[in-house]
Each structure stands twice: as C-alpha cells, then as structure tokens.
Structure 1
Amino acid sequence: MLTSTLLAAATTPLSWSPTVGIIMILANLAAIAFGKSTIKYPNAEPALPLPNPLGGFGVPALLATTAFGHILGTGIILGLHNLGRI
C-alpha cells in the first residue's frame, strides 16, 4: 500500500541547472540576512578567519544560517519543480 502511494507521488527527476543554483544562492543570502537580525549572539566562538566579509558571524551562526538556507532553498526548488516552473 505504502509503496504504491509513494510511486504515485513520484515526479520526473530534477537535474541541476544554473537556475537551481541561483535559487539556492538567493535562499542562503536571505537566510543569512534573516539570521543577522535575529540571532542573539552571532559572533559566538569559534570565530571565522574572515569575520567581516561573512557578516561578523562565528562558526555556529554561519552553520545555522546556511543550514536553514539550504532547507529553504530545497523547499523552493522542489515546490517550483512540482508546479512546473523549473
């Protein structure tokens, strides 16, 4: 029963394209901007080697925002693919 449900929900595979890359980059930039305004201690230790170009984040904040950005980007990409836009 579960197998047939999963097979019915399967769509065509999504191959990588520059559009997919741009969407992921924009999602990560949006997540970093959101994190910069909402993280209580963005410069927690350990510090990054170049903190100024990376928004003054420490390693934990950078990992958290980019992980959120990838989750956000994956949702956007799969949603647009499901709608047939990409």
Structure 2
Amino acid sequence: MYSMLVLAAATVPTTIEWSPKVALIMILCNIVAIVFGKLTIAKPSEGPGLPSPNMFGGMGLGALLGTTSFGHILGAGVILGLASSGAL
C-alpha cells in the first residue's frame, strides 16, 4: 500500500508557479464563464441580489457564484493544460 502511494506521488507533475500570465488566464476564464452563464441561465436574477446589481447585468448572487465557480474550474483546467503542454 505504501509503495503505491509513493509511486502515485512520483507521477504527479509539478504545478506552475503563480505569475501575472496565470492570473490573466484565470481572469479571462472567469469573464468567459460569466458571459456564458448570463447567456444560458434561464433566470439569472433569481435569489438574493448583489450590492451593485448593474455591475453584472442584473445577475443574482447564486448565478454569480455559480458562474465564477465554473470559471475557476475552467481556469484551472486551462492553466494546467497550457503548463503541461509547455505553452505557459
């Protein structure tokens, strides 16, 4: 069992360090996710509102949290994919 854990830990690639490029990719992925959510969520203004509702086009708190969660998942995938391909 212990040797399997050591083997699994040895095959995990190192992750890329934070840089302004990584931050820019994450920001862009979150913007893409918010736009995608705004266009596809049936009732984006349901639930509690935001303090500045005009900033995100009338999205509610639930829609904003959902889209930014999706944006972070998308961003992590894009960053890991670009790092493993050597493009980042």
- Normalised TM-score (structure 1): 0.90
Of 55, 61, 64, the residue aligned with 2:63 is: 61
Structure 1: runs of 5+ lacking an equivalent: none
Of 37, 40, 63, the residue aligned with 2:39 is: 37
Partner of 2:73: 71
Equivalenced residues, count: 86
Alignment partners' CA distance in 1, 2:27 and 2:57: 16
Q: Structure 1 stretches (4+) deviating beyond 3 angstroms? A: none
C-alpha displacement of 1:5? 4.0
| Percentage identity across paired residues of the two chains | 51
C-alpha displacement of 1:7? 3.0
Structure 2: runs of 5+ lacking an equivalent: none
Alignment partners' CA distance in 2, 1:68 and 1:22: 16
Alignment partners' CA distance in 1, 2:16 and 2:74: 17
Q: Which secondary structure state, in structure 2, belongs to the residue aligned with residue 54 of structure 1?
A: coil
Moved more, 54-63 or 10-19: 10-19
Q: CA RMSD in A?
A: 1.3
C-alpha displacement of 1:25? 0.3
Alignment partners' CA distance in 2, 1:2 and 1:67: 33
